[in-house]
Amino acid sequence: MTDFTPPAPPRVVIVGGGLAGLATAVSLVGLDLDITLIESRPRLGGRASSFPDPSTGELVDNCQHVSMTCCTNLTDFCRRVGTANLFRRDPVLRFLSPEGKLSEMKPSPLPAPFHLAGSFLGANYLTLFERLRVAFGLACLRFATKPTLEPFAQWLKRHGQTDRTIERYWGTVLISALNERLENLDISHARKVFFDGFLRNRYGYQMELPLVPLGELYGSRLETWLQSRGVKLRMTTGAKSVELGADGTVTGLTLRNGERLDAEFVVLAVPFDRVASMLPEGAIAQLPSLEHLDEFRSSPITGVHLWFDRDICPWPHVVTVGRLVQWVFNHTELQGRRATGETGQYLQIVISASYDLLSKDNASIKDAVLKDLAEIWPAVNEANLVHWRVVTEHGATFAVRPGIDAIRPPQRTPIDGLILAGDWTDTGWPATMEGAVRSGYKAAEAILADVDRAEVLIKPDLPETRLARLLLGPPLP
């Protein structure tokens, strides 16, 4: 009898422990692959993570992260790793007008796409005539199906929208959802938010809010899950460059400490501005899909964390229309976290596309936010601010500028063994956790196809009603 040594499993090195890299790793475990994940920071989660507050030791999210029920792949990812129960689904979206009037968006028994029509008609931050104007704009958006370089703000003006409807309706929804100003926004992404997010399925718009800090949700829990399934995690380890053999295929990865890891596959699951420096000289010339990498831009988000000694916000979350403050999340109600022991309230304020704040210092941002909140809730003037922290992420997301989808690269590259992932790669989704997970699943699909175990990992969208398909047309590719 001769000894039989089974062939060594193919080696996969994933660079980047954000949701894209995590989704790649999670979907490849148990498939007889030798997986190593390299992350330069001491924690997993990438941009969806928390840090220990230096003065209190409490875990503070870099910023509130919200997903919607239409994010079917993020949901699938959380189910796979056993964290799907760590979210609260909220069917009610609250909007507070600059005049202090509350409107609630919630579904009526009407079928999609009319399930939110009743709430929309009751939206008291717009006049009746403005609501009809917005409805006309939404109807016109149905026919905006061709790729174009026209910014969405210009399109809105051409379709009868006024400064007030743009500020109070279109801007309120889209700046938070897409993290870009409307003057710089791609129309197809705006269309995607309204049609695919809110209208095709009656549950798609519902918000999913984490019940635990992001550092636990996408950090410590994932660390344990992956390690217990044999994935080698190398934290606080920077990747330097992908190695190619004489035949031009991937042979491994060199780390910043000089160590070399041999691998048949390297997945670069890093932000767009890190990719070029990790490719060997001359490789970029073989990658026409990366020709436009230098045209990508980033867009900032500012999160303001405020710990008050008393209750300020009566709701779990609220969208504040026409203000500096765009969204208030009540972490005392959502996660049971308080300012001091049993009392007080911890609010997280989110300001997306916060370009105007980039030149301001944190104390002025905090003061401006407090002033804005005091106009909504005068109790802010009497309250004691126990603690505060401002976190501005300059490169929070890639900017969904007009024409962006034409330059997003696919995950598979023409270099054998080199795969890309990351929210910025071609997923059809804006810069979101769903986009990142989709890119990770697509990266894993490319690897599985190469080892002759092709599998579809991407989950389908929520089903749409026939009426929605008829009235909204098919989703854009």
Ligand X SMILES: Cc1cc2nc3c(=O)[nH]c(=O)nc-3n(C[C@H](O)[C@H](O)[C@H](O)COP(=O)(O)OP(=O)(O)OC[C@H]3O[C@@H](n4cnc5c(N)ncnc54)[C@H](O)[C@@H]3O)c2cc1C
Q: Which residues bind ligand X (CB under 6 A)?
A: 15-21, 38-41, 46-48, 62-63, 65-67, 238-239, 269-271, 274, 301, 303, 393, 396-397, 422-423, 431-436
Indicate the residue among 164 and 240 with the shorter CB distance to ligand X: 240
Cα–chain center distance at 78: 14
Least spacing, CB of residue 401 vs ligand X, in Å: 16
- CB-based burial label for 292 (10 Å; 0-12, 13-18, 19+): middle
Within 142-277, residue ranges assigned H as helices are: 152-158, 163-165, 172-178, 187-191, 214, 221-228, 272-275
Between 77 and 155, CB nearer to ligand X: 77
Rounded distance between C-alpha atoms, residue 136 and residue 128, angstroms:
13
Whether residue 30 contacts residue 43, with contact meaning beta carbons closer than 8 Å, is answered with: no
Q: In the complex, what is the shortest distance from the CB of residue 275 to ligand X, in angstroms, rounded to a whole number? A: 9
CB of 394 to ligand X, least distance (A): 9
CB nearer to ligand X: give 43 or 131.
43
Contact between 40 and 253 under an 8 Å Cβ cutoff? The reply is: no
Least separation in angstroms between residue 466's CB and ligand X is: 29
Query: 351 near 304, Cβ under 8 Å?
Result: yes
Q: Judged by CB, which is closer to ligand X: 63, or 217?
A: 63
Task: Tokens for 215, please give them.
Answer: 């550092």
Residue with tokens 């008829």: 470
Least distance (Å) between residue 338 CB and ligand X: 23
Which residues does residue 302 pair with via DSSP β-bridges, in sequence order? 351, 392
Give min distance, CB of 392 to ligand X, in A: 8
CB-nearer residue toward ligand X: 40 or 154: 40
Identity (one letter) of the amino acid at 360? K
- The total number of residues written for the chain in this structure: 477
**Residue 165 Cβ, how far from ligand X at the closest point, in Å?**
24
Cβ closest to ligand X, residue 156 vs residue 324: 324
**What is the enclosing helix (H) or strand (E) of 266?**
strand 265-268
Closer residue to ligand X (CB): 18 or 137: 18
Nearer to ligand X, 125 or 424 (CB): 424
Q: 68 vs 156, which CB is nearer to ligand X?
A: 68
Smallest distance, ligand X to C-beta of residue 435, A: 6
CB of 334: closest distance to ligand X in angstroms?
13
CB of 179: closest distance to ligand X in angstroms? Answer: 7
Nearer to ligand X, 40 or 220 (CB): 40
Residue number with CB closer to ligand X (23 or 126): 23
Query: Beta-carbon neighbour count of residue 5 at 10 Å?
Result: 5
Rounded Cα gap, residues 2 and 269, in angstroms: 42
| Rounded distance between C-alpha atoms, residue 43 and residue 303, angstroms | 20
What residue type is assigned to position 212 of the chain? V
Token pair listed for 269: 């699951």
Identity (one letter) of the amino acid at 67?
A: S
Other C-beta atoms lying within 10 Å of the C-beta of residue 460: 8
Nearest approach in angstroms of CB 235 to ligand X is 9
Task: Report whether 24 contacts 31 (CB < 8 A).
Answer: no
